[in-house]
Amino acid sequence: MNTDTTGSKFALLIGLPIGLAMGTMALSVSKFYPFRFLLKLASFKLFWNPAVWTLIAAALAVILWTTGKMIAPALAKNDTLRTSFLFTFRVTLKLFIFICAIYLIAVIAEWCRIGDAAFLAIVPYSLIAMIIFFSFTTVIVALTGGFAVVQLTKMKLKIAPKTEEQI
């Protein structure tokens, strides 16, 4: 089996449903009034457009596929847990950058629509909230979905753990 695509296949098979479930949970939380108020205040309205979520899901699939290619080479150098954290960190970092770009486009569009820059004061707090959420997500997903992706790739490629002499 091709070592480049093995990690990518498992990343898509396991990571995409987890990512879509997290997105669905984020959408369902937005139904509660306190969250809806914060979303309106922070100009996150653009995220609740179905086209944007389709774009984010497509970006997640591409990110999982491209980042999944690094699993086999990383397993040759690192242990499973470290590779899991590296894989998950790279996926969430790329996704975070993509979502921040969408958010900044939404902020600029809202600023052009309203013409008042007073609401821009909330942008740093919104970015801090996104960083905290993505940090929490990285740790949780690295110990669950990321570990499963890396472990299945390791078993499929039959990569043996390093011995003391190899280190």
The residue ranking higher by pLDDT, 66 or 2, is 66
pLDDT class for 4, splitting at 50, 70, 90? low
Q: Record the pTM.
A: 0.78
pLDDT, averaged across the chain? 78
- Nearest of 63, 111, 133 to residue 91 by alpha carbon: 63
Q: Please state the domain extents for the chain.
A: 3-157
Q: How far apart are CA 167 and CA 163, in angstroms?
A: 7
Q: Is 47 left (phi over 0), alpha (psi -120 to 50) or beta?
A: alpha
- Both tokens of 143, joined, read 């110990």
